[in-house]
Structure 1
Amino acid sequence: MMGANPDLKPSVRVVQAVAESTGISPNELPPLYENIDPETLDTLLMRSSNLERIKFDYQGYSITVGAADEGTFTVDLQKKKETAIC
């Protein structure tokens, strides 16, 4: 789990966390909007007082973004297991 950074929006934190975990530059990752609307993610977590976390998949990870303290967020990455198709 990555710690909170009050200077970054949740959507930016997600991309940075995945980049750090995979060793791929954030600019080389597919756009986050292919999996979730970044503006909606940011708005929901930054403006909703009763929303604790949002969970979605991106780049082979199950990602949970949660509100920590007011204005700060945590990003938890869980590598998804690959399933073989026979």
Structure 2
Amino acid sequence: MSNPSIGVTDGYDGAASAVVVRAVAAHRGVEPTALPPLYEWVDPDALDALFAPTGRGVRRRGGVEFTYDGSAIAVSIDDGIDVEIDGESVSEPDRSMIGADSGAGARSDS
């Protein structure tokens, strides 16, 4: 279940990189494909791996901070995922897209 007021997506079950790209896009009022590729700032596979379940299926918890396209990004995961952009917690707009192609890897100029 998503809590639109504080930027937490409970029961997070997707790729952190996709959540970050969609959160930044929503924060800026653009489509994810309008953003530059996330891999120009951080390795999306490494970001996803940081929060992937362990070999025993236990969800990892923690946080990471990095810069993406001029914005300070902080991602924390406990029971859900929280994304802060420049210190402001933002909502993850559409949980149904978690794990789907988010534009994290490529930019579309069409």
Question: TM-score, length-normalised on structure 2?
Answer: 0.61
Gapped runs of 5+ residues in structure 1?
80-86
State how 1:69-80 maps to structure 2 within 5 Å. 69=79, 72-78=80-86
What's the secondary structure of 2:52's corresponding residue? Answer: helix
> Given residue 76 of structure 1, which amino acid in structure 2 is its aligned partner?
E
C-alpha contact (below 8 Å) 1:4/1:68 kept by paired residues = no
> How many equivalent pairs are there?
77
Give the corresponding residue for 1:17: 23
The structure whose residues are more often helix, as a share, is 1
What's the secondary structure of 1:24's corresponding residue? Answer: coil
C-alpha deviations, 1:21-62, integer Å up to 9, x for none?
Answer: 111110111000000000000001224666611100012210
- Displaced runs of 4 or more, over 6 A: none
1:61 equivalent to 2:71? Answer yes
Report the aligned-residue RMSD: 2.1
Counterpart Cα distance in 2 of 1:47 and 1:36: 20
What's the secondary structure of 1:46's corresponding residue? Answer: coil
> Given residue 26 of structure 2, which amino acid in structure 1 is its aligned partner?
E
Counterpart Cα distance in 1 of 2:78 and 2:13: 14
